[in-house]
A and B are shown apart, each in its own frame.
Chain A
């Protein structure tokens, strides 16, 4: 048994070079993957990947944020920071999945939605809001898995689901610890301190009701054994997807809303 890691130590693991991305997992978890492109409104955002594949024998829709494995890949996919058209592509493919009764699997791996002039001009806020609202009532099961980092509304836009799983070292946060330190304390260098008090680890997510499952990573992190971590993801999905598919869709939607509806702490 490994010694329990701190949030900061886990952060180093997910930011290390060689951390597997969705492009590493797809060939090992799925077969017959066909990538689909574009939002049919503006363009094709390479920060969001989408397509159809088989999980064992079952057709599924995959929607994922794409991290690059080197600088060139990262330039192409904008370091996994989507523009509005990326979120709109995701919604288009989710609707397609709904039509053909395919479950949706989302892989979340983003520091956040891109902050830029073009993103604002094309309605970053509206695109995220729309996804959150539409995914809430999408009439097909949705499972989301956080692969590495999940930052802010840009992550939540693929995070409204029936069940959220976190890879063991993955984190989910309202914004990056660096951004948090910079805004709250006006000092980005207090990043480490922020990471320790923000409650961003997989265990925190389960405790707070945000995530249901933690998918175990190989010793030292996912990069140490890609086959093993892929097998763990596949095993989880192969068990979870049929379970959700068996449920009456109206019951599933009610439970989906309730999952989010009950998160929060207040006194009356």
Chain B
């Protein structure tokens, strides 16, 4: 770790590049400065404290599944405006253009070291990964697809919770997704949750907490209520490690904390342990 750090420093001096040309990011956990370039090289893991930063859907899929194995499901689904919330439609349009995403979750089928699986990935850049009609429908369909095809499901969660701009309709997506998980489970299907930064609110209180196996990345935020809300209730400041993955692990709500570099092999082993082996390909 230190070597890496010195390498970066050395590089900087050798190259004689000004700081403003080298973009620096601050780790949200330890507040250390990291060169963006280096941070990206490390797949957004802080070299100082091991906080596992937020990835985009495409970055996550790239480092998780076999090359060219991802097939997206319901790729064109976009949100309506169920409670006619002012400017919601316009905001979505803008975000779709900015992020290249259609909503906060992407689902599909893929292979991990040859084992077939259904996979869902949430992206916190899209309205804080909030769950509205599209996320609810896509996740429910992903579980239904997995149930019909006897496939496991792996969900990478990252969400601020229910999407308030869809009002009560967003709350109902919790029931929709949890129900779909339940039917998949009752049919003997394996479901692995990978909690990434942040997994909170209505997502924690529905499908995210229902995995047969719950994995979390190091130092990510996992909880139901927001930290500030709780601090407001108890009128005191909470410790820094409150609601981090390690806290949830300690309290018994997370089975294992897995580093990003080991995620792919861990998932592959778990899939195989449940009988999901690479399938023979038709030639």
A interface list, Cβ under 8 A from B:
113, 115-117, 119-126, 128-130, 132-134, 136-137, 152-153, 156-157, 159-160, 172-175, 180, 183-184, 197-200, 204-205, 208, 210, 257, 260-261, 263-268
- Inter-chain contacts of B119 with A (CB < 8 A): none
Q: How far is the CA of A120 from the CA of B242 in the complex (A)?
A: 9
Q: How far is the CA of A204 from the CA of B167 in the complex (A)?
A: 11
Q: How far is the CA of A120 from the CA of B227 in the complex (A)?
A: 10
- Inter-chain contacts of B110 with A (CB < 8 A): none
Q: How far is the CA of A115 from the CA of B226 in the complex (A)?
A: 8
Query: Is B230 positioned at the interface, with any CB of A under 8 Å from its CB?
Result: yes
Q: How far is the CA of A197 from the CA of B133 in the complex (A)?
A: 18
- Inter-chain contacts of B223 with A (CB < 8 A): 120, 125
Q: What is the CB-to-nearest-CB distance from B222 to chain A, in angstroms, rounded to a whole number? A: 8
B interface list, Cβ under 8 A from A:
74, 76-83, 85-86, 132-134, 136-137, 140, 162, 164-176, 178-183, 185-186, 201-202, 204-210, 223-226, 229-230, 233-234, 238, 242-243, 251-253
Contact pick for B170, options A116, A174, A204, CB 8 Å: A174
- Residue with the greatest number of chain A CB neighbours at <10 A, chosen from B136, B175, B243: B175
Q: Determine if A137 and B186 form an interchain contact, defined as CB atoms under 8 angstroms apart.
A: yes
- Inter-chain contacts of B209 with A (CB < 8 A): 123, 125-126, 129-130
Contact pick for B164, options A117, A153, A183, A265, CB 8 Å: A183
Q: What is the CB-to-nearest-CB distance from B263 to chain A, in angstroms, rounded to a whole number? A: 22
Q: Determine if B230 and A132 form an interchain contact, defined as CB atoms under 8 angstroms apart.
A: no
- Inter-chain contacts of A200 with B (CB < 8 A): 167-168
* Contacts A/B (CB < 8 Å), 20 sampled: A116-B233, A122-B251, A124-B225, A125-B253, A132-B205, A133-B182, A136-B182, A152-B171, A153-B171, A156-B174, A160-B175, A160-B179, A174-B202, A198-B167, A198-B168, A204-B168, A257-B179, A264-B134, A267-B80, A268-B77
Q: How far is the CA of A160 from the CA of B76 in the complex (A)?
A: 30
Q: Determine if A260 and B205 form an interchain contact, defined as CB atoms under 8 angstroms apart.
A: no
Inter-chain contact total with CB atoms closer than 8 Å: 180
Q: What is the CB-to-nearest-CB distance from B74 to chain A, in angstroms, rounded to a whole number? A: 7
Q: Determine if A129 and B242 form an interchain contact, defined as CB atoms under 8 angstroms apart.
A: no
Q: How far is the CA of A259 from the CA of B81 in the complex (A)?
A: 20
Q: Determine if B168 and A172 form an interchain contact, defined as CB atoms under 8 angstroms apart.
A: yes
- Inter-chain contacts of B208 with A (CB < 8 A): 125, 129
Q: Determine if B167 and A115 form an interchain contact, defined as CB atoms under 8 angstroms apart.
A: no
Q: Determine if B233 and A197 form an interchain contact, defined as CB atoms under 8 angstroms apart.
A: no
- Inter-chain contacts of B170 with A (CB < 8 A): 174
- Inter-chain contacts of A257 with B (CB < 8 A): 179, 183
Contact pick for B224, options A113, A134, A156, A264, CB 8 Å: A113
- Inter-chain contacts of A210 with B (CB < 8 A): 168-169, 172
- Inter-chain contacts of A183 with B (CB < 8 A): 164
Q: How far is the CA of A133 from the CA of B74 in the complex (A)?
A: 24
Q: Determine if B168 and A136 form an interchain contact, defined as CB atoms under 8 angstroms apart.
A: no
Q: What is the CB-to-nearest-CB distance from B147 to chain A, in angstroms, rounded to a whole number? A: 12
Q: Determine if B167 and A174 form an interchain contact, defined as CB atoms under 8 angstroms apart.
A: yes
- Inter-chain contacts of A268 with B (CB < 8 A): 74, 76-77
Q: Determine if A125 and B205 form an interchain contact, defined as CB atoms under 8 angstroms apart.
A: yes
Nearest neighbor of B202 in chain A, beta-carbon distance: A153
Q: Determine if A261 and B176 form an interchain contact, defined as CB atoms under 8 angstroms apart.
A: yes
- Inter-chain contacts of B83 with A (CB < 8 A): 197-199, 208
CB within 8 Å for A263 and B169 given contacts A116-B233, A136-B178: yes
- Inter-chain contacts of B182 with A (CB < 8 A): 133-134, 136-137
- Inter-chain contacts of B81 with A (CB < 8 A): 265
Q: What is the CB-to-nearest-CB distance from B58 to chain A, in angstroms, rounded to a whole number? A: 22
Q: Determine if A174 and B168 form an interchain contact, defined as CB atoms under 8 angstroms apart.
A: yes
Seed contacts A120-B224, A261-B180, A267-B80; 8 additional CB < 8 Å A-B pairs: A157-B205, A174-B166, A174-B167, A208-B168, A265-B81, A266-B78, A266-B133, A268-B76
Contact pick for A153, options B174, B181, B226, CB 8 Å: B174
- Inter-chain contacts of A175 with B (CB < 8 A): 162, 164
CB within 8 Å for A129 and B164 given contacts A197-B86, A264-B176: no
- Inter-chain contacts of A126 with B (CB < 8 A): 204, 209, 253
- Inter-chain contacts of B164 with A (CB < 8 A): 174-175, 180, 183-184
- Inter-chain contacts of B206 with A (CB < 8 A): 128-129, 132, 153
